[in-house]
Amino acid sequence: MKLLLVCLGNICRSPMAEGIFRQLTQQRGLPWEVDSAGTADYHVDEPPDRRAQRASAKLGMSISELRARQVQAADFSYFDWILAMDGDNLRQLQTLAGNKHKARLGLLRDPFLQHPRALEIPDPYWGDMEDFLACAEQIQQAAEAFLQNVGEDGKQ
Ligand code: 4NP
State the distance from the centre of ligand 1 to the C-alpha of 99, rounded, in angstroms. 27
pLDDT in tens, 105-124: 999 999 999 998 889 999 99
The region that residue 71 occupies, defined by phi over 0 for left and psi between -120 and 50 for alpha, beta otherwise, is: beta
State the distance from the centre of ligand 1 to the C-alpha of 78, rounded, in angstroms. 24
* Dist. CA 126–CA 12, nearest whole Å: 11
pTM of the model: 0.97
Instruction: Say what the pLDDT of residue 103 is.
Output: 97
In the residue annotation, 104 being an active-site residue is answered as no
The backbone torsions φ and ψ at residue 81, rounded to the nearest 5 degrees and listed phi first, read -130, 140
Return the sign of the alpha-carbon dihedral for residues 67, 80, 110, 96.
positive
pLDDT in tens, 6-58: 999 999 999 999 999 999 999 999 999 999 999 999 999 999 999 999 999 99
In the residue annotation, 13 being an active-site residue is answered as yes
